[in-house]
Amino acid sequence: MKPLMPILVGAALVIVSQGTFAVVTEERVSRTYIAKLPMDVAVQTNVREDGVHFTFTVRKKPDPSRYYQGSIKIRKDKTLVVECPIHPTVEGGTSTYEFVVAPGFLDDSDFDLFHGVEEKGTPLPGGQQYHFNLQEFSQSKAPH
């Protein structure tokens, strides 16, 4: 049974410290939903000899209190193989995340983008987690 709102995956309540709570909401992002994000995100792919090269470019809105963290979760047949942070190249208000994934690992793998707020350089509790399925954003037609 498919959910009525496939974009919204869920929300997690995180206990930050005794008596303090934070909400982290999660959303799965499709190609059609990407334009509705609260930041400008551009996705480019290029099939290379070593795999599919992804470039996620995030242009921050004019609010300097916002910050972003990227990571990838590589899965094979729904089994997590590796999860690691992706550090961006930052120029002005643009953060660029780049990585290469073998075509056989695209189906169940995600690029995750966490969108939070900070005050005086300190991240505040809570935020928004976006999941981009790599197969959906790939132009790869390579066999798995």
> Does 23 have pLDDT greater than 90?
no
CB 39 within 8 A of CB 57: no
pLDDT band at 21 (very low <50, low <70, confident <90, very high): low
Distance CA 28, CA 26 (A): 7
| 79 part of a folded domain | yes
pTM for the full model? Answer: 0.73
* Residue whose structure tokens are 């480019």: 44
Which has the closest alpha carbon to 134: 79, 71, 59?
71
Quick check: is 110 in a domain?
Answer: yes
The answer to the question of residue 101 being in a domain is yes
Q: What is the mean pLDDT of residues 125-138?
A: 88
Where is 134: in which H helix or E strand?
helix 134-137
Is the pLDDT at 65 greater than 90? The verdict is no
Specify if 112 maps to a domain.
yes
Tally the domains of the chain.
Answer: 1
Which residue range is the domain that position 76 belongs to? 8-137
Residue 76 domain-assigned (yes or no): yes
